[in-house]
Amino acid sequence: MNVLLLYFSGTGITRYYSSLIEEEFKKRGHNCQTLDIEELTDLPLLWQRRPVALSYTIRAESRRPLSKFPWPYYDLPMALKYAREIPEFNILKSDWSRYDLIGFGSPVYAFRPAPVMIRFMLDLPRFEKEIPVFSFATHDGAQGDFEAFMKLSLAKKGLNHIGHLDQSFIYSAAAVMRSKMNHVKSGKLLIKKSEAARNKIAHFIERIESDPVGRVVPFRARDILSKIIGIPYRFFYSYGIDFMLNYTLFGFGINKEDCVQCMTCVRQCPQGLIELDKDDYPIRYYHCMYCLRCLNWCPTNALYFSPTTQGKARFPGPEILLEAAERYDEKHKRKKNSNS
């Protein structure tokens, strides 16, 4: 089986998850390729042509604008209504026809994929061959009706959605509001969660192998429970979390004395919203999707969103956490051996 995994990743967790899925497919003798959609297209340009935004961004823009110039965001219903394929993606009809299965992965933002992933999916051509596809997601505890949205969006492109994978790893988004982040402890948690993820992935692939033509993978009990829990969670998010984020996270600030003007944040913004001011310091005039990449990639921690995130921890990426946990275990193993 030839498998393609397409993903967008903000903090690196979804990229890491896709590597675990790839690992399991290859272990079972399948050909599997992972591809960041940012390698496939000019993502900021693609998104800015028709900039779809989720409700929390639109509310932040109206309540706490970062400039006097309104950004012409498409809300999700409008984006879905006016979705159309773009000619540049027509080549994908032949390119993807050689795959037996394609996965689409994204972090969960307000129970939806990242807006740049939404834009990417909406701009895809309609496929005449019903390629089996599945979705996969990373989140901080609940995904709501993310799966249903992915199934509907991909079906509109003629793709046959046969199942879904999701995993909660560690709270990468919350790092920017913590005073510090224990890399060893977080790395050990990531290792533990990774084992749980591998078990779910193996179970998922077994089901696909037993029925490769495309019957929807049944929900397990915990998946049903997750959907039920998602109902009050969505209500809480829409009011409580949205209020909290608007007054503790949303914004853009910079400590100029720490900024080395390396432009890392400008290059890393997947929406292309960070520019340079007249003194060549980064500035963002509009609210974004808050993937946290600019904060996490800044080499001097010069950037922050609201004052709540100023001087706080940054998420270093899953590889750094795993390395910290492995070094800690190796150090204690050597110490134990020397004592014995």
CB 295 within 8 A of CB 181: no
Q: What is the pLDDT of residue 35?
A: 97
Q: What is the pLDDT of residue 1?
A: 93
**Torsions phi, psi for 163 (to 5 deg):** 170, 180
Two structure tokens written together for 43: 């993502």
Secondary structure letter of residue 286 according to DSSP: S
Closest CA to 54 of 141, 138, 128, 112: 112
3-state secondary structure 222-250: HHHHHHHHHHHHHHHHHHHHHHHHHHHCC
Q: What is the pLDDT of residue 232?
A: 63
Q: What is the pLDDT of residue 316?
A: 94
d(CA 234, CA 91) in angstroms, rounded, equals: 38
CB 251 within 8 A of CB 283: no
Closest CA to 168 of 14, 43, 279, 56: 14
Q: What is the pLDDT of residue 68?
A: 85
Q: For the chain, give me the number of helices (H) and strands (E)?
A: 14, 9
Give Cα separations from 5 to 36, 44, 151, 212, 247 (angstroms): 8, 21, 16, 16, 36
Secondary structure letter of residue 217 according to DSSP: P
d(CA 122, CA 128) in angstroms, rounded, equals: 16
Show Cβ contacts of residue 326 under 8 Å, excluding neighbours closer than 6 positions.
187
d(CA 330, CA 324) in angstroms, rounded, equals: 10
Question: Where do the domains of the chain lie, and which CATH numbers do they carry?
Answer: 2-243 (3.40.50.360)
Please list the rounded mean pLDDT of every run of 10 residues in the chain (340 residues): 97 97 97 97 96 91 86 91 91 94 95 96 91 94 88 94 93 87 94 96 92 52 53 60 72 94 96 96 95 95 91 94 92 73
Give Cα separations from 312 to 19, 274, 308 (angstroms): 29, 21, 8
**Torsions phi, psi for 181 (to 5 deg):** -130, 120
The string of pLDDT tens digits covering residues 105-147 is 999 998 899 999 999 999 999 998 789 999 999 998 778 889 9
d(CA 126, CA 92) in angstroms, rounded, equals: 10
The edge-to-edge listing of strands for the beta sheet with 101-107 is 31-36, 2-7, 101-107, 132-139, 160-168
CB 110 within 8 A of CB 55: yes
Q: What is the pLDDT of residue 219?
A: 42
Show Cβ contacts of residue 35 under 8 Å, excluding neighbours closer than 6 positions.
4, 5, 6, 7
What value, to the nearest 5°, has the Cα angle with vertex 106 and ends 102 and 111? Answer: 125
| Ranges assigned E (strand) in the chain | 2-7, 31-36, 101-107, 132-139, 160-168, 253-254, 274-276, 282-284, 303-304
Show Cβ contacts of residue 28 under 8 Å, excluding neighbours closer than 6 positions.
205, 209
Give Cα separations from 48 to 42, 61, 62, 124, 309 (angstroms): 10, 16, 19, 16, 27
The string of pLDDT tens digits covering residues 66-98 is 988 878 899 999 999 988 889 999 999 999 999
